């Protein structure tokens, strides 16, 4: 039971699957869980909205890929790739509004342990009301999120 | 007279806005507006009640298991299912673990910064810090060298301007009173608590599957395999050893770090035992069954209500008496806004009638919150660790009574001191201590069953829907870290007909009702001093003492650098 809870590379889908597009990252993670192209040994998790509660699952990993809904104020389905540093820098000086991925990344940095590489792949949601399905624009970006995640995993795999 | 607005209230889960009238340096009235939007029934209607918990655990982003537990309990209540002893024990272990974890994180990572000035910690002398730390606790991480290391790390963070989690504090505010050395101890323990919570929650990984969301709940028991000698069983003797080791490390951390820190903070801020009192009505559904789950009289935390601060009488709780008002909430009831409805008759028809953003103030005389206003027999109630402790204390629960009396004696404070901001903080810490000790006890009971071959963990008697009545109603409850959580399920023709959850923060953070009675936050803020209206640190102290959680909302990343709450419609 001393073993870490995750492997060296972890993919975490983040979001709430009962709030429509907010769950986009979790839907993408679930697709990856059944995808044979994912390199052996990668852990893929449904992280829900657990925030700091995800620490034990990511702090022992060297590389963490977050899949999440990201509000950019852009058209629904708009895609974004960020690094952990982008979010860490951005969160400094702002009010901490909710304890989510940005705070998790900050906490990992503060605990002076944690992953060397953090990448966030995001998609702009259209609708975050109660519901279990994605709106069309976000649904259309899901395959991009899966492909971009696979590309990132292969890049990390090659860099080992 | 001035109106101050705190929006968003920082270092909480979810989105909360407080408006308060300040006159002569004190709050004279307050309004709490939350964005928790209800409507879980929209997701659950028509589904198999045995699967309700899988969806319900997504209601809250933080303590998902409390909703899973309340949900399976509601369905078990509807179908008349008694769960086996091992399932009860494992549920108690999982739930106590969640509560201990939440309380530690709340104190160190969300609340401590209301009392601890990070910037002041930079002026601390490591040798003096070491002396102070050793004078209040035997905790081994207390050398001057250790504190020098913490000081260097914080210094580097401040220099790099990446204060991150510390970014939202009112550093240098005159209401901060700890000397630099005490501040440095608290910062060190903030960092230690980050490590602690990471290790401690592994109990859930053992009992719930290696997944952040527990996978092992089951209507009728648990889906955990029990076998003393089977290496692949979820619970075997080796795993019991591991659980025991983690539980004992929690006991050590709580008694040597958390409790001494709370007492030290209380020592510097004794006036906060006289502030933030609030409603004076407290409710607890009861939690942690020691025998049958159907008989609340055996629960470790008894079920009951305290009215008007009177600890000589405990009133019974009947879930039938819970209703919700929408008189000041952005919803419509088909029968009109002034009548309260029982959750079984619950409706969620949102209708936003507030000002169009951006606005300066809410229309507090009208509707002003997305939270409904729950009431018990038309009375507002405070829920949470303090409510649990007061009900248990007044009921004569021996563990609670002994712990409260000895703590009050050490602080030279009367029981009335509990009705306060610091009272909530103390109750939360003492509850953590008590649960850490019970956690060890429940693991021992589980080990005993394992070694005597008592392995039953699921009661499948009513699993088949063909055995169900045509219609059934059930109530499931749990005392979540933040307070009383109730789920109400109505089953018809083997499917969910209606489902409602009344969550703890609705009780505490809810708005006024049709009679104009304030909610718990609103009442607790009256008479709170505000030295600087631009930086209302004192207001945050009282609000944070409730451990606000309005996380039944979206958690998307905001690429502009902060997390977005649910947008106000």
Question: pLDDT, tens digit, for every residue of B179-188?
Answer: 999 999 999 9
| B242, closest residue in chain A (CA to CA) | A1
Smallest CA-to-CA distance from B274 within B419, B424, B112, B111 is with B419
pLDDT-based confidence at A1, cuts 50/70/90?
very low
Residue B469 at interface with chain A, using a CB cutoff of 8 Å: no
- Let me know: does B246 contact B200? Beta carbons within 8 Å: yes
Provide the pLDDT confidence category of residue A40 given band limits of 50, 70 and 90. Answer: very high
- Closest CB to B559 among A71, A96, A132: A71
In the beta sheet, which residues pair with residue A43? A10
Q: Quote the pLDDT of residue A4.
A: 65
Q: What CA–CA distance (Å, rounded) separates B90 from B233? A: 14
Residue B561 has what pLDDT? 34
Cβ atoms of A22 and A128 within 8 Å: the answer is yes
Identify whether the C-beta of residue B176 lies closer than 8 Å to the C-beta of residue B538.
no
* Structural contact between residues B341 and B324, judged by C-beta atoms closer than 8 angstroms: yes
Residue B480: which of B288, B304, B296, B292 has the closest Cα? B288
Furthest C-alpha separation in chain B: 71
Element of type H or E holding B32: strand B26-34
Contacts of B560 in chain A (CB under 8 A): 71-73, 90
d(CA B168, CA B125) in angstroms, rounded, equals: 25
- Measured in angstroms, the CA of B189 and the nearest CA of chain A are apart by 12
Which phi-psi region, left, alpha or beta, contains residue A62 (left: φ > 0; alpha: ψ -120 to 50)? Answer: alpha
B60 is catalytic: yes
Rounded to 10 degrees, the C-alpha dihedral B246/B259/B396/B519 comes to -100
Residues of A within 8 A of B64 (CB-CB) are 48, 50
pLDDT at A71: 78
Of A50, A98, A132, which has the smallest distance from its Cβ to B212's Cβ? A50
- Residue B277: active-site member: no
Backbone φ, ψ for residue B24 (5° rounding): 60, 30
Element of type H or E holding B196: helix B180-200
Distance from CA of A145 to the nearest CA of B (A): 15
Question: Could B167 and A5 be called an inter-chain contact, meaning their C-beta atoms sit closer than 8 Å?
Answer: no
Instruction: Say if A54 is an interface residue toward chain B (CB within 8 Å).
Output: yes
B55 in contact with chain A, both atoms CB, cutoff 8 A:
yes
DSSP 8-state class, residue B256? I
In chain A, residues 111-150 whose CB comes closer than 8 Å to chain B = 111-112, 120, 122, 125, 128, 130-132
Contact at CB, B164 and A72, closer than 8 angstroms: no
Residues of chain B where predicted confidence (pLDDT) is lower than 50: 553-556, 558-569
> A31 in helix, strand or coil?
helix
From the list B59, B213, B556, the residue facing A71 with the nearest CB is B556
**Checking DSSP bridges between strand B13-14 and strand B549-550, what pairing results, if any?**
parallel
DSSP category for residue B516: -
CA A5 – CA B212 distance, rounded (Å): 10
- Catalytic residue of the set B11, B38, B67, B375: B67
pLDDT of B555: 43
Enumerate the residues of chain A whose CB falls inside 8 A of the CB of residue B10: 95-97
Cross-chain CB nearest to B211 (options A45, A52, A73): A45
pLDDT of residue A113: 65
Element (H or E) spanning B373, and its range?
A: strand B373-376
Task: For strands B16-23 and B26-34, give the pairing.
Answer: antiparallel
pLDDT at B563: 33
Q: How far is CA B264 from CA B179, B182, B255, B259, in A?
A: 11, 8, 13, 9
| Structure confidence by residue, pLDDT tens digits, A73-125 | 789 999 989 887 777 655 433 223 345 677 777 777 777 667 889 998 999 98
Chain B residue with minimum CA distance to A7: B210
| Range from A3-17, A37-51, B103-117, B300-314 carrying the lowest mean pLDDT | A3-17
Cβ neighbourhood burial of B160 (10 Å; 0-12, 13-18, 19+): exposed
Quickly list DSSP for B438-492.
HHHHHHHHHHHHHHTT----B--TT-SGGGS-SEEEEEEEEEETTEEEEEEEEEE
Q: What angle do CA B302, B307, B310 make, to 5 degrees?
A: 90
Count other C-beta atoms under 10 Å from residue B20's C-beta.
24
Residue A94 forms contact with B (CB below 8 Å): yes
Cα(A9)–Cα(A62) distance, rounded to whole angstroms?
6
d(CA B417, CA B399): 19
Comparing A2 with B516, which gets the higher pLDDT? B516
Contacts of B553 in chain A (CB under 8 A): 16, 19, 98
């Amino acid at each position: 039971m001393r073993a870490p809870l995750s492997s060296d590379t972890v993919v975490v889908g983040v979001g709430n699957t009962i709030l429509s597009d907010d769950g986009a990252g979790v839907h993408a993670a679930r697709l990856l869980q059944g995808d044979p192209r994912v390199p052996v040994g990668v852990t893929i998790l449904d992280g829900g909205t657990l925030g700091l509660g995800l620490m034990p699952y990511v702090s022992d990993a060297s590389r963490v890929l977050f899949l999440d809904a990201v509000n950019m104020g852009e058209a629904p389905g708009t895609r974004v790739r960020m690094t952990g540093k982008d979010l860490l820098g951005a969160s400094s000086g702002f009010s901490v509004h909710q304890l989510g991925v940005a705070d998790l990344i900050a906490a990992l940095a503060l605990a002076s342990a944690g992953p060397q590489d953090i990448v966030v792949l995001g998609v702009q949601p259209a609708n975050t009301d109660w519901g279990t399905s994605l709106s069309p624009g976000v649904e259309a970006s899901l395959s991009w999120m899966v492909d971009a995640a696979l590309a990132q995993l292969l890049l990390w795999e090659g860099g080992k | 007279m001035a109106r101050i607005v705190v929006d968003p209230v920082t270092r909480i889960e979810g989105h909360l806005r407080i408006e308060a009238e300040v006159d002569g340096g004190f709050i004279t009235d307050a309004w709490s507006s939350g964005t928790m939007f209800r409507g879980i029934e929209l997701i659950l209607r028509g589904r198999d009640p045995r699967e309700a918990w899988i969806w319900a655990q997504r209601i809250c982003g933080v303590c998902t298991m409390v909703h899973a537990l309340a949900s399976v309990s509601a369905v078990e209540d509807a179908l008349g299912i008694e769960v086996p002893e091992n399932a009860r024990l494992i549920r108690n272990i999982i739930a106590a673990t969640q509560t201990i974890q939440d309380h530690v994180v709340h104190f160190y990572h969300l609340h401590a910064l209301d009392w601890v000035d990070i910037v002041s910690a930079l002026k601390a002398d490591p040798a003096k810090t070491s002396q102070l730390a050793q004078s209040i606790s035997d905790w081994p991480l207390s050398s001057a060298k250790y504190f020098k290391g913490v000081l260097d790390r914080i210094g580097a963070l401040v220099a790099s301007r990446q204060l991150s989690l510390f970014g939202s504090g009112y550093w240098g505010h005159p209401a901060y009173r700890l000397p630099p050395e005490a501040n440095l101890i608290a910062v060190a323990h903030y960092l230690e608590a980050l490590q602690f919570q990471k290790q401690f929650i592994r109990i859930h990984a053992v009992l719930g599957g290696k997944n952040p969301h527990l996978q092992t709940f089951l209507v009728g028991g648990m889906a955990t395999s029990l076998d003393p000698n089977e290496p692949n069983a979820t619970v075997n003797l080796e795993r019991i050893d591991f659980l025991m080791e983690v539980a004992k490390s929690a006991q050590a951390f709580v008694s040597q770090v958390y409790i001494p820190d709370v007492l030290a903070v209380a020592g510097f801020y004794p006036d906060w035992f006289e502030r933030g009192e609030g409603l004076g009505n407290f409710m607890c559904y009861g939690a942690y069954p020691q025998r049958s789950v159907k008989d609340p009289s055996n629960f470790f935390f008894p079920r009951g209500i305290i009215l008007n601060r009177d600890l000589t009488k405990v009133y019974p709780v009947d879930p039938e008496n819970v209703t919700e008002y929408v008189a000041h909430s952005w919803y419509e009831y088909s029968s009109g806004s002034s009548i309260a409805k029982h959750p079984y008759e619950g409706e969620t028809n949102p209708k936003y009638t507030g000002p169009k953003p951006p606005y300066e103030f809410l229309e507090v005389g009208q509707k002003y919150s997305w939270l409904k206003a729950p009431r018990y027999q038309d009375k507002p109630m405070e829920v949470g660790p303090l409510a649990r402790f007061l009900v248990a204390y007044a009921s004569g629960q021996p563990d609670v009574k002994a712990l409260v009396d000895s703590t009050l004696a050490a602080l030279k404070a009367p029981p009335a001191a509990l009705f306060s901001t610091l009272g909530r903080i103390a109750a939360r810490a003492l509850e953590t201590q008590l649960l850490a000790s019970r956690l060890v006890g429940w693991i021992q009971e589980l080990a005993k069953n394992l070694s005597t071959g008592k392995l039953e963990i699921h009661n499948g008697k009513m699993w088949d829907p063909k055995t169900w009545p045509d219609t059934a109603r059930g109530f499931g409850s749990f005392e979540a870290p933040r307070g009383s959580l109730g789920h109400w399920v109505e089953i018809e023709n083997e499917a969910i007909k209606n489902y409602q959850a009344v969550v703890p923060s609705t009780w505490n953070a809810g708005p006024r009702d049709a009679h104009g009675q304030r909610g718990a936050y609103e009442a607790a803020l009256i008479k709170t001093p505000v030295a600087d209206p631009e930086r209302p640190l004192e207001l945050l102290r009282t609000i944070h003492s409730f451990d606000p959680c309005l996380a039944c909302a979206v958690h998307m990343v905001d690429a502009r650098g902060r997390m977005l709450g649910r947008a106000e419609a």
